[in-house]
Amino acid sequence: MTILAIAGSPAERSRSTALLNFAVQRLDLAGFPIQRLGLRDLPAEDLVTGNYMGAAAKQLREVVDSADAVLVASPIYKASFSGGLKTVLDLLDERALAGKLVLPIATGGSTAHLLALEYGFKPVLSALGARHILAGVYATDKQVRLIDDGVDIDDDVRHRLETSVDLIADHLSRTLHRPRLQTYDVGRIALDGRLSL
Ligand SMILES: Cc1cc2nc3c(=O)[nH]c(=O)nc-3n(C[C@H](O)[C@H](O)[C@H](O)COP(=O)(O)O)c2cc1C
């Protein structure tokens, strides 16, 4: 049983990945096994050419297949999720997300494209078989501030992430008999996923 976290931003210092890391840390601390995957983990040529038969795509499909829940984060680019993330999703099987709990996370420059979660992100996740898609968490750049070696996340955003993560943890605990989530006060999180309590 694993939880897969997919980071769909090409940026090295990424707000959406920071939110993903925040969510992952909470699940990690609660004892859930996590696998992480970022755009940079896959060969760019395989992504650009849609190399479905390649070794990287095969491995990607195995990792996704083994996950019970998938957290997927993306920046909003031109009113939708990133093209880079789409190239990853393009390498999956048609029903790759069937039976999995899915949490979409996105950050955007403003609230103008808040609904991209609904009209852009979720239809693609649904087309991949996902039927249990949580409401999703959207935050603006003002709410997720990059600082020297980390990121400051507004309390409201933290709360929404925690609520979503706790739903995932409760669901997995019930269905897979895992220990229930303990509450941790997560402090500042570095961009590489380290956190201070
Ligand atoms: C090429 C590009 C296109 C963007 N398009 C939008 C957009 O259409 N709507 C929006 O709200 N923000 C847009 N943004 C801003 C990003 O979504 C925002 O800065 C986001 O937090 C970046 O996430 P990241 O740090 O994880 O890459 C765009 C940024 C870039 C670089």
In sequence order, the β-bridge partners of residue 5 are 36, 71
| Residue boundaries of the structural domains of the chain | 2-190
Between the CA of 114 and the centroid of ligand 1 the distance, in Å, is 12
pLDDT of residue 175: 82
Q: Is the entire prediction scored with pTM above 0.85?
A: yes
Tens-binned pLDDT, residue by residue, of the chain (197 aa): 799 999 999 999 999 999 999 999 999 999 999 999 999 899 999 999 999 999 999 999 999 999 999 999 999 999 999 999 999 999 999 999 999 999 999 999 999 999 999 999 999 999 999 999 999 999 999 999 999 889 999 999 999 999 999 999 999 998 866 555 555 555 555 556 554 44
Q: Which of 77, 105, 137 to mutate to test the pocket of ligand 1 (most atoms within 8 A of CB)?
A: 77
Shortest-distance Cα residue to atom 5 of ligand 1: 77
Cα four-point dihedral sign 137, 121, 99, 35: negative
Return the CATH architecture of domain 2-190: 3-Layer(aba) Sandwich (3.40)
Cα 193 to Cα 136: distance, rounded to the nearest angstrom: 20
